[in-house]
Amino acid sequence: MQAIIFCGIQASGKSTFYKELFFNTHVRISLDLLRTRYRENLFLQACLKTQQRFVIDNTNPTAEERRKYIELAKAARYEVTGYYFETSVKEALARNSQRTGRFLVPDRGIYGTHKKLQIPTVAEGFDYLYLVRLKQGSGYEVYPILSEPGSFWQP
């Protein structure tokens, strides 16, 4: 079974990436959707107990925040894959300005998440780790992150 953990500031393309690549195969576990940690934990436990593939679609900016998901998934014998969504604050603010209602994140939230962002590393326990960049217009560039922090393959 596969557990996928997204990491990146708000408006970096995580939810759209999920919809395009994992909507038909993985349960989406997201605080944006579930609204409380209690509900999130219920969904997570249900996936682990039933061996359902899932994606944690949250910002997960620190290694500490990601550790919970990695440890639970590993204990349930899941393969753990991480996707780090690299984007600038300027680009995220521009994308965020196109949102409306409860999906519009206050600018201070984006700045705050960016300030505490720790780029994930394989050493955290990921079996696979990828860097994701949004292409101009639409689409993504996805590169595997190698075992050394900050190193990734690029054509």
Gyration radius from the chain CA atoms? 15
Q: Is residue 151 one of the residues assigned to a domain? A: no
When pLDDT is averaged across residues 123-136 and rounded to a whole number, the result is 93
Three-class SS of 47-84: HHHHCCCEEECCCCCCHHHHHHHHHHHHHCCCEEEEEE
**Percentage above 70 pLDDT, the chain:** 94
- pLDDT category at 136 given cuts 50, 70, 90 is confident
Domain count, the chain: 1
Q: Which residue's structure tokens are 């780790």?
A: 129
Which of 77-81, 138-142, 149-153: highest mean pLDDT?
Answer: 77-81
Q: What is the pLDDT of residue 92?
A: 94
Reported as a single tens digit per residue, the pLDDT across 46-101 is 999 999 999 999 999 999 999 999 999 999 999 999 999 999 999 999 998 998 88
Per-residue DSSP letter, 36: S
Q: Which residue's structure tokens are 């557990």?
A: 3
pTM of the full structure: 0.91
H-assigned helices in the chain: 14-21, 31-34, 37-50, 63-75, 89-96, 107-116
Q: Is residue 25 one of the residues assigned to a domain? A: yes
Give the span between the Cα atoms of 121 and 145, in whole angstroms.
Answer: 8
For residue 131, pLDDT over 90 is answered with yes
Q: What is the pLDDT of residue 104?
A: 83
Q: Is residue 92 one of the residues assigned to a domain? A: yes
Range of the domain at 121: 2-144
For residue 155, pLDDT over 50 is answered with no
When pLDDT is averaged across residues 121-145 and rounded to a whole number, the result is 91
Give the span between the Cα atoms of 54 and 70, in whole angstroms.
Answer: 12
For the domain that residue 116 is a member of, what is the CATH number?
A: 3.40.50.300
Q: Is residue 152 one of the residues assigned to a domain? A: no
For residue 133, pLDDT over 80 is answered with yes
Which of 44, 40, 2, 8 has the alpha carbon at shortest distance from 22?
2
